[in-house]
């Protein structure tokens, strides 16, 4: 008999401890936060209710600051971040989240509930936490 296993939800695997920064933060300060948090992404806060979240990845810094030989003290996060970013709902099944990230060639996305960021989810979360629970 083939039993159907319950779906694993994004909420169960997402990173709920994430760091946020403002868009006016310098890349040097963002790098310091990334180092302290031992992470590779920062969520960029909304400036107001009608704004959208942004995302700053280590790869953005490598492409737009390091590769172009810019001074991280003189570049602001808003200049190199991705915004708006695709977001997912915490109740989404992880298999659909993985397909969505893959379809848009993303490595991670904010998890929004009622327009508020409650986490970040990445392929690493989906695979290491999601598949190990099956």
Distance CA 40, CA 59 (A): 8
Omega before 84 cis (within 30°)?
yes
CA distances for 4 relative to 1, 7, 111, 134, angstroms: 10, 9, 26, 11
Q: In a structure prediction context, what are the per-residue pLDDT tens digits for the chain, which is 134 residues long?
A: 566 778 999 999 999 999 999 999 999 999 999 999 888 999 999 999 999 999 999 999 999 999 999 999 999 999 999 999 999 999 999 999 999 999 999 999 999 999 999 999 999 999 988 777 55
Distance linking the first and last C-alpha atoms of the chain? 17
Find, among 104, 121, 103, the residue nearest to 112 by Cα.
121
What pLDDT does residue 134 have? 55
What pLDDT does residue 2 have? 61
Phi/psi-derived region of residue 129, left when phi > 0, alpha when psi is between -120 and 50, beta in every other case: alpha
């Amino acid at each position: 008999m083939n039993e159907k296993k319950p779906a694993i939800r994004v909420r169960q695997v997402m990173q709920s401890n994430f760091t946020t920064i403002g868009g006016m933060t310098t890349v040097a300060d963002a790098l310091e936060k990334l180092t302290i948090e031992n992470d590779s992404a920062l969520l960029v806060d909304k400036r107001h209710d009608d704004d959208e979240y942004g995302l700053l990845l280590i790869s953005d810094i490598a492409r737009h600051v390091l590769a172009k030989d810019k001074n991280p003290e003189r570049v602001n996060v808003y200049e190199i971040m991705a915004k708006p970013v695709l977001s997912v709902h915490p109740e989404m099944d992880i298999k659909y989240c993985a397909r969505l990230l893959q379809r848009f060639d993303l490595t991670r996305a904010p998890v929004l509930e009622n327009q508020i960021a409650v986490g970040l989810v990445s392929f690493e979360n989906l695979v290491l936490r999601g598949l190990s629970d099956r």
